[in-house]
Amino acid sequence: MPRIRYPDVDALHPKVRSALDALPAPLNIFRISTLAERNFEPMMRLGGTILSRQQLPGNLRELAILRVARLSGAEYEWVQHVPIAEMVGCTKEQIEALHRGHAAAACFDEKERAVLDFTDEVLRDVRPSDESLAKLKQHCPDREVMELTIAIGFYMLMARIMEVSGIELEAPLGDKIVRAASEAKD
């Protein structure tokens, strides 16, 4: 049972309703987010950009998102992003390791561990250590470091929306969202 009621989609502002209807899947996270009418469209644009227009490789993005989901206790985010992670090349072994909380497992290479360590520190401490940032910068240019930071922050926001509202789990459709965002790229 959700902690905050979903809005009546028929009562939404026409612009918000139109934006919701334009999304490729009517996920609960989108429905609940329409309560913040003025934030909804910009938030969806940012999410779409993160999923489809970043230079940061998709597998690194998804490892970070899964780590955020697990550390935030956001099961909904986890369920939606596992198929996306698989779609962009994360292995079942990596996904299982993150599910068990083993971000330092041998299935992660040095670059992936740098991404996960950085994600942990941003989530926990806000400002990552100089050492963590330096390790990440050995593998990622500054642009990718900033894109990773934005992805981590956005999915921390989404996890909090999910957990505050208590939205109900639903079948994973996240990969459908990513495919649609990729097709809509300029």
Domain ranges (residues) in the chain = 57-158
- Looking at the whole model, is its pTM more than 0.85? yes
Separation of alpha carbons 139 and 135, rounded Å: 7
CB of 158 closer than 8 Å to CB of 144 = no
Integer CA distances (angstroms), 51 to 13, 44, 66, 108, 168, in order: 26, 11, 14, 22, 23
The CA–CA distances, whole Å, from 86 to 82, 115, 151 equal: 6, 17, 18
The region of weakest confidence among 34-38, 141-145, 180-184 is 180-184
CA atoms within 13 A on the CB side of 177: 24
* CATH superfamily of domain region 57-158: AhpD-like (1.20.1290.10)
Distances (CA, A) of 75 to 66, 69, 112, 135, 152: 10, 7, 22, 29, 16
Q: What is residue 90's predicted lDDT score, i.e. its pLDDT? A: 98
Q: Report pLDDT for 185.
A: 62
Mean pLDDT computed over 119-137 = 98
Write down the mean pLDDT value for the chain: 94
Residues 63-111 pLDDT 10s = 999 999 999 999 999 999 999 999 999 999 999 999 999 999 999 999 9
Instruction: Tell me what pLDDT residue 2 has.
Output: 86
Q: Which residue did the predictor score with more confidence, 65 or 179?
A: 65
What pLDDT is stored for residue 49 in this prediction? 95
Q: Is the pLDDT of residue 180 over 80?
A: no
Tally of CB atoms within 10 A around 171: 9
Tell me the three state secondary structure of residue 20: helix
- Please report the pLDDT score of residue 172 as a whole number: 84
Percent residues over pLDDT 90 in the chain: 88
Instruction: Assess whether pLDDT exceeds 80 at residue 1.
Output: no
Calculate the alpha carbon distances from 45 to 10, 53, 174, 183 in Å. 22, 11, 15, 14
Q: From residue 64, give the alpha-carbon distance in Å to each of 13, 37, 78, 95.
A: 34, 28, 11, 11
Please give the pLDDT value at position 41: 95
